[in-house]
């Protein structure tokens, strides 16, 4: 069985990710410290804002930061990258990857109302276009609809990262690395599949399955 590390200081916040992995036949484990040798991949989950000091800026936008969570996840990413293991970032994880590779974030999107969660609760949804030749294009085609629950976004891309999906307003919705097994999405595929499947978005399980397939291929050598 594929084992996926999900670094967090609050395991109760990553239940949806663990359930989605289970639904695809993998085993996700939440925790603070992981030895990459015991896992097949790293999933960086969604959550609060990354401290702007991590990308050389003063905090200018409202939003909770968690220095402990930053430390846990940046350290986990460093270890898994060094081990050459596949990494998949979701929402906060997507932004964390960009920062880790030297990029910056937009602390509050100009069109944040199109991306934040709905006033009554739940995720927003919008369309997005996909780059030809990207990892997402064989999965979802040239465009699809995704959910959305964030107020920040990728600004200057980190070294080696390529934007491969964008919302109508230009917000970077997915990235891939040009040489490392690293992929990310700004949306929440774990809330677009199985018990959380939505009729107004694509099936999120497909991109998580892609990540697990990359982990399996590497495991088999």
Question: 143 with 127: CB under 8 angstroms?
Answer: yes
Enclosing H/E stretch for 87: strand 87-90
Residue 168: what pLDDT? 95
Residues of the chain with pLDDT under 50: none
Tell me the CATH class for 3-220: alpha beta
Active site residues: 91, 188, 190
Question: 196 with 122: CB under 8 angstroms?
Answer: no
Neighbours of 72 (CB within 10 A): 18
For the stretch 15-24, pLDDT in tens is 999 999 999 9
> pTM of the prediction?
0.98
Residue 107: what pLDDT? 98
Residue 60: what pLDDT? 95
Neighbours of 140 (CB within 10 A): 19
Could you tell me whether strands 105-106 and 143-148 are parallel, antiparallel, or unpaired per DSSP bridges? unpaired
């Amino acid at each position: 069985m594929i084992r996926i590390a999900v670094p967090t200081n609050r395991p109760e916040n990553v239940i949806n990710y663990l359930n989605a992995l289970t639904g695809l036949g993998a085993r996700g484990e939440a925790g603070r410290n992981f030895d990459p040798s015991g896992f097949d991949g790293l999933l960086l989950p969604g959550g609060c804002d990354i401290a702007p000091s991590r990308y050389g800026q003063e905090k200018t936008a409202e939003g909770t930061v968690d220095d402990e969570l930053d430390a846990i996840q940046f350290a986990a990413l460093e270890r898994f990258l060094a081990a050459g293991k596949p990494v998949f970032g979701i929402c906060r994880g997507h932004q964390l990857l960009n920062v880790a590779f030297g990029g910056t974030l937009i602390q509050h999107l100009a069109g944040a109302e199109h991306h934040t969660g709905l006033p009554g609760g739940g995720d927003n949804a919008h369309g997005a276009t996909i780059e030809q030749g990207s990892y997402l294009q064989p999965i979802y085609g040239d465009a699809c609809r995704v959910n959305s629950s964030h107020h920040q976004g990728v600004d200057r891309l980190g070294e080696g990262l390529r934007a491969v999906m964008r919302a109508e307003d230009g917000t970077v919705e997915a990235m891939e690395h040009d040489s490392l097994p690293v992929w990310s999405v700004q949306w929440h595929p774990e809330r677009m599949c199985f018990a959380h499947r939505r009729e107004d978005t694509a099936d999120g399980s497909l991109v998580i399955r892609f990540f697990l397939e990359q982990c399996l291929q590497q495991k088999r050598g």
